[in-house]
């Protein structure tokens, strides 16, 4: 993300905000990299970036996600229904921080500013996808019809949860696939845009 994984890093912030129907709990952590050239930065990201256990690959950023569902049931004569459902989406966004050398070339600083902003945008989109599916899951659970008994109602809730989370996983993979294909052209376009803003005085030059 660019994949969902966990990296031991300093936990800096925690926020809990409503995400439509569902709740979102988001944390940020950062890992440090060094280097004074583009090649150095690439090597540092490959060496220190979050690692995905399933592939062993490292990535310049990551978002770890977990869905927690709390469901209450109401029994009536001959039936059982979901009385309430609450979905909490917990995400941990892992981002790089570059320890800028004092004599780093301005072009390298410009590239880093562009790249780091794109990494953050990418991971925040992963959060948005997860939030949207959390909302969909909560609404789907609340909208189910009564069942003959609570065991059947619970089985239906599990079926709905599995189906929606499977679609969520596919959506995340598809997003990564599209972003990967467009990465180079996107970064070049963003750098040109940033240069234009600097030249027009709408953005300060890299510090």
Average pLDDT over residues 115-134: 94
**pLDDT, position 199:** 63
CB of 157 within 8 A of CB of 144? yes
Domain ranges of the chain: 10-199
Q: What's the pLDDT at 85?
A: 96
Residue 187, pLDDT above cutoff 90: no
Average pLDDT over residues 58-63: 88
Decide: helix, strand or coil at residue 57: coil
Distance CA 192, CA 114 (A): 10
Confidence grade of residue 2 (pLDDT, cut at 50, 70, 90): very low
| Greater pLDDT, 125 or 54 | 125
pLDDT of residue 58: 83
């Amino acid at each position: 993300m660019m994949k969902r994984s966990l990296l031991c890093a300093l936990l800096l912030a925690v926020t809990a905000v409503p995400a439509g129907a569902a709740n979102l709990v988001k944390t940020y952590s950062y890992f440090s990299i060094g280097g004074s050239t583009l090649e150095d930065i690439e090597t540092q990201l490959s060496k220190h970036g979050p690692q995905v256990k399933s592939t062993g690959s490292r990535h310049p950023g990551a978002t770890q996600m977990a869905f927690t569902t709390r469901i209450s049931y109401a029994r009536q004569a001959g039936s059982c229904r979901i009385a309430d459902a609450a979905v909490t989406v917990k995400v941990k966004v892992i981002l790089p921080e570059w320890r800028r050398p004092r004599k780093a070339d301005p072009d390298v600083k410009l590239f880093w500013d562009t790249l780091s902003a794109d990494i953050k945008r990418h991971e925040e989109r992963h959060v948005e996808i997860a939030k949207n599916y959390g909302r969909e899951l909560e609404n789907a659970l609340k909208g189910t019809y009564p069942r003959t008994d609570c065991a059947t109602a619970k089985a239906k809730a599990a079926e709905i949860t599995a189906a929606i989370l499977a679609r969520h996983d596919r959506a995340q993979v598809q997003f990564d696939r599209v972003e990967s294909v467009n990465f180079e052209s996107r970064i070049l376009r963003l750098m040109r845009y940033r240069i234009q803003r600097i030249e027009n005085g709408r953005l300060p030059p890299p510090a």
